[in-house]
């Protein structure tokens, strides 16, 4: 019998009548079922989060105690690391090596970091304004926060948001993607075992289009933190404008890697493979546009294509697999449509571009790593996020042209610069319109460093002090200091 995963509302596990079959994208087979929230369960979750916040059991908990809870969650994730890595891999198609060494330990570290730092981030500030006034600036939790999570890093993104939201004293309704709810529903068990007060975190799996509007517009909600596509982001902003809510938007990307001729070609070819083919290219920060200085273009591209062809596709749970399947058949169809459109517009496929013929992979949603050339800035494949294992390669002659290419995008999430001259790279980084610039590396997220995009990639930060502070509101308390105990306002009408 397949396992059934319940929702978690007000400290209780709730099985609903309506269930979602959860598919393993490596095999196309059903691996579990998850309860699906209807508007009734949304109502319960919102009530539960609101009343838990208003009771103050969590928001006013002494910080040493809150710290203990948050640390317990980190430990709970580590204690269940094997199961979580397996679940994440089997549900998303992400190779087990990635979930084991990246997603799960990083999820635990997000809680460790929050536990160890939130007190210092919440330090109130006293300001002497003038002889008559002093002020106290203090950070408070925002209130009830709705966290909406995409399918590409289900546990990690949930934990980035949850760790900050909880450490800041908020209560939460967490909605994973209905394609990949298993790790979040397992996390609910970990939260329950950590004995978090009922209602502080509620996890509801559900269809975005069915329950999103209520979740994001309801008066009981104070903030929405969303990671996902631009289309959904736009809708959520509309919903949340009904009652004016704070929001964070972590949206799409079309990131550029700039590779200069003085780099070590082998190193950069290897790193560039990761920068587009990890998680089958389903990364918001995927370096889907790779620009190479003309002097090394031919050599670089030849090696890049040869190694892309050699990547080992396979079932995600197999330890030797380097690339798993895409998340779903419809995602694969989207990727194919982008490639067809690019081909019609004149792009040339250097490798990949098709479904692999290996009979062992025929039931999964596999797609070959794809590299395309002959692409120019007006083409769809240059401008739009494919969200799959598709890189375009292009040439530049000098730094000005490289910056121009990198910035020729409506998105502004991340970029990479590869050169031995780091002073030059630093100068270039300042000219690039993206929220993250990696110099001689890719994909290094640190809990200390705020992460988030510019332009159509959204606004607000996750991680670091700034990411934490997003989940707080700043209050300014002014205290009159007049020597005669009469503030200016009491003299105003001359009585």
Q: Supply the residues annotated as catalytic.
A: 250, 284
* Pick 117 or 247: Cβ nearer ligand NAD: 247
Contacts to ligand NAD by CB under 6 A:
148-153, 175, 177-178, 208-209, 212, 216, 227-229, 232, 235-236, 250-253, 284, 385, 387, 413, 453, 457-458
CB crowding 49-80: b at 16 or more within 10 Å, else e: bbbbbeeebbbebeeeebbebbbbbbebbbeb
- Ranges of H-type helices in 80-103: 81-92, 96-98
Rounded distance between C-alpha atoms, residue 346 and residue 359, angstroms: 31
Rounded distance between C-alpha atoms, residue 443 and residue 120, angstroms: 27
The residue to which tokens 């509302």 are assigned: 9
**Residue 137, number of CB atoms within 10 A of its CB:** 13
Integer-rounded Cα radius of gyration of the chain? 24
* Pick 10 or 229: Cβ nearer ligand NAD: 229
Q: How far is the CB of 177 from ligand NAD (least distance, A)?
A: 4
The two structure tokens encoding residue 249 = 């938007």
Q: How far is the CB of 370 from ligand NAD (least distance, A)?
A: 18
The two structure tokens encoding residue 224 = 């929405």
Q: How far is the CB of 215 from ligand NAD (least distance, A)?
A: 6
Please name the residues in contact with 359: beta carbons below 8 A apart, sequence gap of 6 or more: none
Q: How far is the CB of 224 from ligand NAD (least distance, A)?
A: 9
Rounded distance between C-alpha atoms, residue 286 and residue 291, angstroms: 14
CB 247 within 8 A of CB 224: yes
The residue to which tokens 């995602």 are assigned: 331
The residue to which tokens 């080992």 are assigned: 312
Q: How far is the CB of 179 from ligand NAD (least distance, A)?
A: 7
CA 32, 37, 41, 42 dihedral sign is: positive
Query: Looking at the DSSP assignment, which residues form a beta bridge with residue 455?
Result: 411
* Pick 260 or 387: Cβ nearer ligand NAD: 387
Q: How far is the CB of 280 from ligand NAD (least distance, A)?
A: 12
* Pick 103 or 385: Cβ nearer ligand NAD: 385
CB 291 within 8 A of CB 377: no
* Pick 103 or 297: Cβ nearer ligand NAD: 103
Helix 154-167 vs helix 182-193: crossing angle, to nearest 10: 40
Local structure of residue 195 (DSSP, 8 states): T
Could you tell me how far CA 464 lies from the centroid of its own chain?
Answer: 14
Query: Which residue, 27, 30, 29, 33, is CA-closest to 15?
Result: 33
Mind giving me the DSSP string for 401-446?
HHHHHHH-SSEESEEEEE-S-HHHHHHHHHH--SSEEEES------
Q: What are phi and psi of 131, to 5 degrees?
A: -60, -30
* Pick 96 or 386: Cβ nearer ligand NAD: 386
Q: Where are the beta strands (DSSP E) in 44-132?
A: 125-128
Q: How far is the CB of 103 from ligand NAD (least distance, A)?
A: 12
Expressed in percent and rounded to 5, the helix, strand and coil fractions of the chain are 40, 20, 35
Q: How far is the CB of 181 from ligand NAD (least distance, A)?
A: 9
Helix 154-167 vs helix 81-92: crossing angle, to nearest 10: 130
The residue to which tokens 């690339």 are assigned: 323
CB 289 within 8 A of CB 253: no
Q: How far is the CB of 238 from ligand NAD (least distance, A)?
A: 9
* Pick 249 or 268: Cβ nearer ligand NAD: 249
The two structure tokens encoding residue 260 = 């200069």
The two structure tokens encoding residue 351 = 């490798």
* Pick 175 or 220: Cβ nearer ligand NAD: 175
* Pick 169 or 281: Cβ nearer ligand NAD: 281
Q: How far is the CB of 89 from ligand NAD (least distance, A)?
A: 17
* Pick 9 or 286: Cβ nearer ligand NAD: 286
């Amino acid at each position: 019998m397949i396992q059934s995963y319940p929702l978690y509302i007000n400290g209780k596990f709730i099985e609903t009548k309506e269930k979602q079959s959860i598919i393993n994208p490596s095999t196309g087979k059903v691996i579990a079922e998850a309860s699906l929230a209807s508007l009734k369960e949304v109502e319960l979750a919102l009530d539960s989060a609101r009343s838990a916040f208003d009771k103050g059991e969590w928001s006013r908990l002494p910080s040493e105690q809150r710290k203990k809870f948050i640390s317990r969650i980190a430990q709970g994730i580590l204690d269940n690391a094997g199961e979580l890595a397996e679940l994440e891999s089997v549900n998303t198609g992400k190779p087990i090596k990635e979930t084991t060494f990246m997603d799960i330990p990083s999820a635990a570290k997000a809680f460790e970091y929050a536990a160890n730092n939130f007190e210092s981030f919440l330090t109130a500030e006293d300001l002497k304004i003038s002889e008559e006034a002093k002020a106290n600036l203090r950070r408070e939790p925002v209130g009830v926060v709705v966290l909406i999570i995409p399918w590409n890093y289900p546990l990690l993104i949930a934990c980035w948001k949850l760790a900050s939201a909880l450490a800041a004293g908020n209560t939460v309704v967490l909605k994973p993607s209905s394609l990949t709810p298993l790790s979040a529903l397992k996390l609910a068990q970990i939260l329950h075992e950590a004995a978090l007060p009922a209602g502080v975190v509620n996890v509801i799996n559900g269809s975005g289009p069915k329950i999103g509007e209520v979740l994001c517009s309801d008066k009981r909600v104070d903030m929405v933190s969303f990671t996902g596509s631009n289309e959904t982001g736009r809708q959520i902003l509309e919903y949340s404008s009904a009652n004016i809510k704070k929001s964070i938007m972590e949206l799409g990307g079309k990131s550029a890697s700039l590779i200069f001729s003085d780099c070590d070609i082998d190193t950069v070819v290897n790193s560039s493979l990761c920068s587009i083919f990890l998680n089958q290219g389903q990364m918001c920060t995927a370096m889907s546009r790779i620009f190479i200085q003309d002097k090394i273009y031919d050599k670089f591209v030849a090696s890049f294509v040869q190694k892309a062809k050699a990547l080992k596709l396979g079932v995600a749970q197999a330890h030797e697999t380097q690339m798993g399947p895409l998340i779903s058949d419809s995602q694969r169809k989207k990727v194919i449509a982008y490639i067809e459109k690019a081909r019609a517009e004149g792009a040339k496929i250097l490798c990949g571009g098709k479904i692999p013929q290996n009979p062992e992979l025929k039931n999964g949603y596999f797609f070959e790593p794809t590299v395309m050339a002959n692409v120019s800035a007006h083409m769809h494949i240059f401008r739009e996020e494919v969200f799959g294992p598709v890189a375009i390669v292009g040439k530049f002659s000098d730094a000005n042209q490289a910056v121009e290419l990198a910035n020729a995008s409506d998105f502004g999430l991340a970029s990479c610069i590869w050169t031995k001259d780091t002073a030059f790279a630093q100068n270039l980084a300042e000219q690039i319109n993206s929220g993250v610039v990696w110099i001689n590396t890719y994909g290094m997220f640190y809990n200390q460093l705020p992460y988030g995009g510019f332009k159509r990639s959204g606004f607000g930060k996750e991680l670091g002090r700034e990411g934490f502070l997003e989940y707080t509101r700043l209050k300014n308390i002014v205290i009159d200091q007049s020597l005669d105990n009469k503030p200016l306002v009491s003299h105003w009408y001359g009585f």
